[in-house]
Amino acid sequence: MKVGILGATGYTGQELLRILNQHPEAQVVYLGSSSSAGKSYEEIYPHWNGSNYALSEEEVPEVDVLFAAMPHGITAQRAEGLLQRGIKLIDLGADFRLVNYQEYESWYKTQHASPHLLQHAVYGLPELYRDEIQGKGLIANPGCYPTASLLALVPLLQKQLIKNDPIIIDAKSGVSGAGRGIAQPLHFAEVNENFKAYGVGEHRHTPEIEQQLSKAANEKVLISFTPHLVPMNRGILATIYVQPYEGVGEEDLRNTLAEAYEQEEFVHLLPKGTWPQTKYAYGSNHAFLQLKFDQRTGRAILVSAIDNLIKGASGQAVQNMNILFGLPETMGLGTKGLWP
């Protein structure tokens, strides 16, 4: 397959290239960057020395699949022209994740350039929507926080084991989730030896999580979602609090998650007593889950860990590409987490 990456100099773009460079069926023929066109890739990332990759303008050549790792609002402006050329488009941004364009415009504070394409987009979380992804041309790659949260919650809502309210998601992310842009809150002195909440009550991943949970529950679901910034490079750990229905115990919850993911290569329910850590997933496309029923409070506690740049972005995008082209989902994604 001839593959292109728009936004190739960002963290997710670089991770895409790293994964695709080892993919036996992918030939990267185009790296697009508006800010660095004309430079070699190793000028931006010196560890790519000798790779001979060059950065081009954002005029996309003939490719079979294009990964768009762009800020929100940009991919939607170009999507229709790309799709008309027969290019399969995997958007790692937010432009096609929300089915309601008005909700998108409300949360992202920008007008949606292609609302008519939303009905053709498929939400690309393979473990949940694999059958819907096959054969499609426009994939909305999920956000990192939604991936971690939905893997833990969707099977339980589908089986009606937990109540829609309250669902509380307390999530932490490494600083790479904010991208390579320069901003005061991301300076070393601001992040190091510090731990802070951000986007409280207004993070843009909130409607994305609620949309997919509502689909699973067949009714409107609202969540309390608070993300935090942790002084580490990568990783997400989500701690989720839910209320099981009366008569539902820990084994019911555990058995449901075990059944949902027993055939999955990338999602793992850990043995009792072993709790997910971000290091388990570091540098890999794997997700790790655990749960406990708190008899004292009557609540269940779910914990989910992923690498925000891999399963939360680039690895999942390649997983989607593999599905689109009828390849084994694990192709190019065999790396286990790095330790320590």
Partners of 196 in the β-ladder:
229
pTM given for the model: 0.97
Q: Which domain holds residue 82?
A: 2-141+311-324
Burial class from Cβ neighbours inside 10 Å (0-12, 13-18, 19+) for residue 228 reads middle
The CA-to-CA distance between both ends of the chain, in Å, stands at 35
**CA 9 – CA 224 distance, rounded (Å):** 34
Distance, CA of 168 to CA of 162 (rounded, Å):
12
**What distance in Å separates the CA atoms of residue 216 and residue 209, rounded to the nearest whole number?**
11
- Let me know whether 278 and 292 are in one domain: yes
Residues 165 and 103 in one domain: no
Choosing from 65, 144, 238, 300, which is the catalytic residue?
144
Residue 296 falls in which region: left (phi positive, over 0), alpha (psi -120 to 50) or beta? alpha
CA dihedral 123, 236, 229, 35 (to 10 degrees): -60
CATH number, position 255? 3.30.360.10
Amino acid at 259: E
Same domain, 271 and 162: yes
Q: Does 224 share its domain with 315? A: no
Tokens 């950065």 label which residue? 55
- Identify whether 233 is part of a domain: yes
* pLDDT digits 0-9 by tens, 174-190: 999 999 888 898 999 99
Decide if 287 is inside a domain.
yes
Q: Are residues 39 and 165 in the same domain?
A: no
3-48 per-position pLDDT tens digit: 999 999 999 999 999 999 999 999 999 999 988 999 999 999 999 9
- Residue 28, SS3 per DSSP: strand
Instruction: Provide the b/e sequence for 245-262 (b: ≥16 CB within 10 Å).
Output: eeebeeebbbebbeebbe
Q: Is residue 334 part of a domain?
A: no
Compute and round to an integer the Cα radius of gyration of the chain: 20
Q: 78-103 burial by CB neighbour count: b if 16+ within 10 A, else e?
A: bbbebbeeebbbbbbbbbbbbeebee
4 labelled catalytic: no
Contact 231, 298 (CB under 8 A): no
Q: Which two tokens stand for residue 92?
A: 């790692």
DSSP state of 300: E
What values do phi and psi take at 320, rounded to 5?
Answer: -65, -40
In the three-class reduction of DSSP (H, G, I as helix; E, B as strand; rest coil), residue 174 is classed as coil
Q: What is the DSSP letter of 171?
A: E
Give yes or no: residues 177 and 79 share one domain: no
Beta-carbon contacts of 235 under 8 Å, excluding residues fewer than 6 positions away, are 173, 174, 278, 279, 281, 282, 305, 306, 307, 308
Identify whether residues 149 and 293 lie together within a single domain: yes
Inter-residue contact 30 to 4 (CB < 8 Å): yes
Q: What CATH code is carried by the domain that includes residue 107? A: 3.40.50.720
- Answer yes or no: do 20 and 75 share one domain: yes
Establish if 340 belongs to a structural domain.
no
297 and 163 share a domain?
yes
Do 118 and 157 belong together in one domain? no
- Number of neighbouring beta carbons within 10 Å of residue 58: 14
* Residues 242 and 206 grouped into a single domain: yes
278 located within any domain = yes
Please name the residue that has the structure tokens 């070393």. 188
Per-residue pLDDT of the chain in tens (340 residues, 90 and over written 9): 999 999 999 999 999 999 999 999 999 999 999 889 999 999 999 999 999 999 998 889 999 999 999 999 999 999 999 999 999 999 999 999 999 999 999 999 999 999 999 999 999 999 999 999 999 999 999 999 999 999 999 999 999 999 999 999 999 999 999 998 888 989 999 999 999 999 999 999 999 999 999 999 999 999 999 999 999 999 999 999 999 999 999 999 999 999 999 999 999 999 999 999 999 999 999 999 999 999 999 999 999 999 999 999 999 999 999 999 999 999 999 999 999 9
How many other C-beta atoms lie within 10 A of the C-beta of residue 38? 10
Rounded-to-10 torsion of CA 220, 276, 308, 53: -150
319/304 same-domain check:
no
235 pairs with which residues across the strands? none
What total number of domains does the chain contain?
2
Instruction: Flag whether 336 is in a domain.
Output: no
Judge whether 274 lies within some domain. yes
Q: Please, are residues 250 and 293 in contact by the beta-carbon 8 Å criterion?
A: yes
In a domain, 319, yes or no: yes
Q: Tell me how crowded residue 51 is: count the other CB atoms within 10 A of its CB.
A: 14
